[in-house]
Structure 1
Amino acid sequence: MLRIFAAASAVVFLASSAGAQSAQAGSHNPALKNGAPHTIGAPAKGANSFTENQARGRFAKGGYTHISKIMKADGLWQGTAMRGSKRVTVLLDYKGNITTR
């Protein structure tokens, strides 16, 4: 009887720890952040600490060229740039995410 109880406890323990690991694998807050700029649907609101040169670098790293004079307004760096043959308005939020309009 004691062996059955111990075996059942081990199965429950292993199943619960495996579930916890799979839940952490897709974490939205990873231990190592990917530094590449991401294009998202809407910019995050918050205080932006990027300098103008850093913002230009993020836009360039995101594949944008011919970046116009950019300015910071409401915590977002914004300006116009070319993406391929199309001119778009680009915005950079405090997280480093790029949004286009």
Structure 2
Amino acid sequence: MRTIIAVSVGLFLSASAAFAQSETPSTSQTTPAVNTEHNPGAPVAGKNSFTEAQAKERIEDAGYSDVMGLKLDDQGVWRATAKKDGKDAGVSLDFQGNVTMAK
């Protein structure tokens, strides 16, 4: 009788553990580390993990050239001046990867 109870408890715990491991936290699917779509509310404040070199490269990949004065502000947004289509512009890069022109 004890063996049957012990086996039943063991099977129950194994099934519970397997079920718990199969669940995926919702944030892993809805909040990517780097946004692949532009956020209309950008730039978004937050802890920025881009290095200065990565920030400059991402800004240049968005069509800007002559990126100068690149600085990380107190909101976690990289800000610089650059050229786009031959015109000077203020540009920013947030932690989501959104590159935006200053308005």
TM-score by length of 1: 0.60
Runs of 4+ in 1 over 6 A off after TM superposition: none
The unaligned stretches of length 5 or more in structure 1 are 1-28
TM-score by length of 2: 0.59
The one-letter code matched in structure 1 to 2:73 is A
Q: Which residue of 1 aligns with 2:7?
A: none
Task: Give the drift of 1:99.
Answer: 1.4
Residues 40 and 56 of structure 1: is their aligned pair in 2 closer, same or farther, counting only changes over 3 Å?
farther
Residues 99 and 71 of structure 1: is their aligned pair in 2 closer, same or farther, counting only changes over 3 Å?
same
Query: SS in structure 1 opposite 2:58?
Result: helix
Measured in 2, the distance between the counterparts of 1:85 and 1:69 equals: 18
The unaligned stretches of length 5 or more in structure 2 are 1-29
**Contact 1:38-1:62 within 8 A present in 2 as well:** no
Task: Give the drift of 1:41.
Answer: 5.0
1:19-47 CA distance string (max 9 Å, x none): xxxxxxxxxx498x775x84745311111
Q: Which residue of 1 aligns with 2:24?
A: none
Taking every aligned residue pair, what percent have the same amino acid on both sides? 39
The one-letter code matched in structure 2 to 1:83 is K
Matches within 5 A, 1:9-48: 29=30, 35=36, 38=38, 40-48=40-48
Measured in 1, the distance between the counterparts of 2:79 and 2:35 equals: 22
**Contact 2:42-2:98 within 8 A present in 1 as well:** no
1:58 aligns with 2:58: yes
Task: Give the drift of 1:85.
Answer: 1.3
Select between 59-68 and 37-46 the one with higher mean Cα deviation: 37-46
1:44-92 CA distance string (max 9 Å, x none): 1111010000000100100000110200002000010000111100010
The CA RMSD over aligned residues, in Å, is 2.6
**Contact 1:90-1:100 within 8 A present in 2 as well:** yes
- For these two proteins, the number of residue pairs brought into alignment is 72
